[in-house]
Amino acid sequence: MPELPEVETTRRGIAPHLEGRRVRELVVREPRLRWPVDPALADHLRGALLGPVERRAKYLLLPAGGAGTLILHLGMSGSLRVVPADTPPERHDHLDLVLEDGQALRLRDPRRFGAALWQPAGTTHPRLAELGPEPLGPDFHGDYLYRASRGRRAAVKAFIMDNQVVVGVGNIYATEALFRAGIDPRRGAGRIGRERYRRLADAIRAVLAEAIEAGGTTLRDFTRSDGAPGYFRIQLAAYGRAGEPCPACGRTLVTSRVGQRATVRCPACQT
């Protein structure tokens, strides 16, 4: 599943092709995405002048004039490309945002877990309403995590992957951040002290920033907006490396379960 760095990489890739352009039409070939595409969406977007492309968590926000905002989510396997509007669509190309300059933003989504939603001006879509702070924003820091964790019995990995606590820290980057901070992912969130949460917040910011600069993590279903894969995976220290030596101490990395997910940790470095 594309995580925050992959979505931010996509935002940076498509923004120069969309901002300041006017929409000619929305072509919906398959409305049965994660949530059915509203038939009125095409009317909302027709003729709209697109503003700066933004990101909230893993959602891409395309302001459409003063009427509202198109919200796109890539789901588990979605990707976006800017292509000439007359490019023949392939099997999983479900939606085109066609611009007056002859280009189109094309959503490809083989598993159809993505979404195209509408947020009227002056409102907040329910999918965005209860999200926690951005991990790279000023409201996210170790003291915030410490306060939010008091009384929490959930494992710390599940805690930082909760979008109501902080957005966009998915499985890969949670694993890496906890490794860097030296924290056992199974440890109860409420049993971690303030200083350790400060180290964890710093690690989360660092690993996400590095992944964004590297172009996201190469996954089976993800490529950048220009069609090239991301390059961060070669830098991963823990995720996907169970059975290999810890890069810090040499002990064998092991797999544990946190909730329904497997997670990799070093039994010596992470306590």
Starting from the edge strand earliest in sequence, which strands make up the sheet with 59-64, in order? 54-56, 59-64, 68-73, 115-120
Q: Identify whether the C-beta of residue 120 lies closer than 8 Å to the C-beta of residue 175.
A: no
Q: Is 145 left (phi over 0), alpha (psi -120 to 50) or beta?
A: alpha
Strand partners, 97: 26, 105
Residue 54 is a catalytic residue:
no
Residue 267 is a catalytic residue:
no
Q: Is 123 helix (H, G, I), strand (E, B) or coil?
A: coil
> Which is the catalytic residue, given 12, 112, 205, 261?
261
Residue carrying structure tokens 């599943």? 1
Beta strands in 89-168 (DSSP E): 93-99, 103-108, 115-120
Query: Checking DSSP bridges between strand 254-258 and strand 261-265, what pairing results, if any?
Result: antiparallel
* 152 known ligand binder: yes
Residue 3 is a catalytic residue:
yes
* 21 known ligand binder: no
Q: How big is the chain by its Cα radius of gyration, in Å?
A: 20
Residue carrying structure tokens 């990101």? 55
Residue 157 is a catalytic residue:
no
State the Cα–Cα distance between residues 217 and 173, nearest whole angstrom: 10
Crossing angle of helices 194-214 and 4-18, in 10° steps, is 40
> Which is the catalytic residue, given 24, 58, 187, 241?
58
For residue 217 the two structure tokens come to 């993590």
Residue carrying structure tokens 């700066």? 52
* 111 known ligand binder: yes
Annotation: binding site for DNA? 92, 111, 152
- Active site (catalytic) residues: 2-3, 58, 261
Annotation: binding site? 92, 111, 152
